[in-house]
Structure 1
Amino acid sequence: METFVSNNVEIAYSDFEPFGEDRQEPIVLVHGFASTHAVNWMFTQWVKTLTEDGRRVVVFDNRGHGRSEKLYDPAQYSLDLMASDIANLMDHLSIARADVMGYSLGARISTVLTLAKPERVRSLILGGIGQYLVQDAGLPSGLAEAMEAERIEDIDNSMLKIFRGFAESTRSDLKALAACVRGARKALDPASLAGITCPVLICVGTRDDVAGDPSPLEPLFPNVRLVDIPGRDHNRAVGDRIYKQAVVEFLAARP
């Protein structure tokens, strides 16, 4: 991976060139909480799928995650700052406009980017996020404390225990993640989504209790399509073939 500096924070990224002669517009992928570019997009074959579709693919590790700089002040993890990291990376790579796909926390960050800089986002793809985009502050209550628990066995809530186990499996910096939780908890104003006029695709697993029901989002976006990912929960929906097929078709059809 290469690195660049965004708002005085070192961000690690990779830039993949498309295969074939039929080159399409670039796409930026934004991973979820406690994940990395590799876990979210490489191991699941997303980069392969999209580069074979003729697209330049940019992936990166969010601040506090993966190979990017770790920070321990919650103020350094505001959604506005994390969204600006995407815009700054696009500037660094001389990408004026791109399709942007985010998963879970990455979807929330991508939405904030689109609201702040609509001219930079050709289309917005949201995975693993439903009604909690606007009905909750995002990351579950008690998650910071779960990251700070001395042992995973000390966590009583089953969902929080799953998050902690995932964070351990990705070898994350748990203190940095706790700061991220505290800084990134923010509910988005439902009325603000009417200002997102680019095409939007929302893909959520039918067993995804973390994302919530995506149907309440449908009337909030002017130009949106919802896709169910049958039988998949929050973690297993990420690499699902139906999700990939929906994205490839959406990118081909959007203006």
Structure 2
Amino acid sequence: METFDSDGVRIAYHRHGAGRPIILVHGFASNGRVNWLDTGWVDTLCEAGWGPISIDNRGHGESEKLYDPALYPARTMAGDVARLIVHLGLVADGEGVPVMGYSMGARICAFLCMDHPELVRAAIFGGLGINMIRGIGGSEAIVQALLAPDLDHVRDRTGRQFRIFAEHTRSDLKALAACMQSSRDPIRAEDLSGIRVPVLVAVGERDEVGGSAEELAALLPRGTALVIPGRDHMRATGDALFKKGVIEFLSELPT
């Protein structure tokens, strides 16, 4: 694990292998290890010649914990990823690096593509389809679940799922609640039309959280949809067909 200073916030990241760099951005209440190492993504990418670099988003994993919701907009978190890319000197000859995010990480990657296009060569939006622009409800129930004294006090089904997952990842519950309470910078269809790099949108067939991969991909000038058969939001993360589709997508990028 290594760290760097991102505009005054300590951000942790992990480098794996010695291949071509690709940045991995995890989802809410997860971290680089749980989202990418434990699911086999790191091994899969290394075997295909890539050198994955996973970031722990602010408030998550080994990065600094913050308790002010104003410090967690996705656009701000995209700035952390941009600073990591610059910190590591990954942009050579004006060509950016591929980035892959899952769920909240996909949203962060979308802002990275929009705000820092010079840093991005291609993007994979995992676990977030058309709901990237339609929005995902239920945030208040998740906040209340994270702040409850214990799981016995949580009745909301979605809230319980997130509380169980957050405890599994040994997350700081108050930091996660602040992250969930943060204002949501809207993403509009016209915003996505400005993303000019190739984008793979990969969402589980049964993923009600992420919504349709095809609908989101249709809004992207160079978007491609991958529907992961039989998978919901939580179970698509390490799916073999998801990995196969990503490796094929990356292999088609110009060398």
TM class by shorter-chain length? over 0.9
Please give the alpha-carbon distance, in whole angstroms, between the structure 2 residues aligned to 1:189 and 1:150: 37
Query: TM-score normalized by structure 2?
Result: 0.94
What does residue 192 of structure 1 align with? 191
TM-superposed CA distance for 1:143, in Å, is: 1.8
Q: Give the number of aligned pairs.
A: 250
For structure 2, which runs of at least 5 residues remain unmatched after alignment? none
The 5 A counterparts of 1:19-58 are 23=19, 25-58=20-53
Whether 1:132 aligns to 2:127 is: no
What does residue 203 of structure 1 align with? 202
Query: How large is the Cα RMSD of the aligned pairs?
Result: 1.4
Please give the alpha-carbon distance, in whole angstroms, between the structure 2 residues aligned to 1:186 and 1:154: 31
TM-superposed CA distance for 1:161, in Å, is: 0.9
Which of 83, 87, 93 pairs up with 1:92? 87
Please give the alpha-carbon distance, in whole angstroms, between the structure 1 residues aligned to 2:109 and 2:141: 24
1:138-174 CA distances to partner (integer Å, 9 max, x unpaired)? Answer: 7734222221112222222211210111001101100
Which of 73, 82, 92 pairs up with 2:77? 82
1:30-60 CA distances to partner (integer Å, 9 max, x unpaired)? Answer: 0000001000000011111111111121111
What does residue 149 of structure 2 align with? 150
TM-superposed CA distance for 1:222, in Å, is: 0.5
Distance 1:17 1:243, change over 3 A: same
1:50-104 CA distances to partner (integer Å, 9 max, x unpaired)? Answer: 1111112111110000110000001111112100100111111111121000000
Please give the alpha-carbon distance, in whole angstroms, between the structure 1 residues aligned to 2:145 and 2:99: 30
What does residue 102 of structure 1 align with? 101
Distance 1:254 1:31, change over 3 A: same
Runs of 4+ displaced beyond 4 Å? none
Please give the alpha-carbon distance, in whole angstroms, between the structure 2 residues aligned to 1:215 and 1:157: 30
Whether 1:69 aligns to 2:64 is: yes
Q: Is the 8 A contact 1:138 1:186 kept in 2?
A: no
What does residue 13 of structure 1 align with? 13
What does residue 222 of structure 2 align with? 223
Please give the alpha-carbon distance, in whole angstroms, between the structure 2 residues aligned to 1:130 and 1:228: 10
Please give the alpha-carbon distance, in whole angstroms, between the structure 2 residues aligned to 1:203 and 1:184: 25
